[in-house]
Amino acid sequence: MATTSETLGQKQRRFTRMSVRLIDYAHSLGYEITLGDAYRDPRVFGPIGTRLGYGESKSAHKQRLAIDLNLFIDGKYMADTESHRVLGEWWEGQGGVWGGRFQDGNHYSLEHDGIS
């Protein structure tokens, strides 16, 4: 688990390990996953606090602490937040932030400096 003194780099590495476990967990439940947005390069999307293109101006994607996962059940793409609930609640139990709490169900992140 995280400590209050955890650096951004340490969180990024923990987030990567957690993401692998989340994908493995989804597969164990019979879901299929494809990867959506992960890192949003500030040269394209702007630095923290600036919005260029799509997405939030303050985004954990810009910190390498968020990933969007595309969920498939029986080959059908599930775009709705509710379809991610089992995974999202599991993710929260691991210490992560699930975007389903703010109508972005396929978003899985870790909080850093108030950004999730």
Reported pTM:
0.86
More confident residue, 93 or 47: 93
Which letter does DSSP use for residue 53 in this model? S
How many other C-beta atoms can be found within 10 angstroms of the C-beta atom of residue 86?
14
- Mean pLDDT score across all residues of the chain: 88
CATH of span 8-109? 3.30.1380.10
| DSSP-assigned beta bridge partners for residue 73 | 76
What are the structural domain ranges in the chain? 8-109
Mean pLDDT of 80-107: 96
Q: Phi and psi dihedrals of 70, rounded to 5?
A: -95, 125
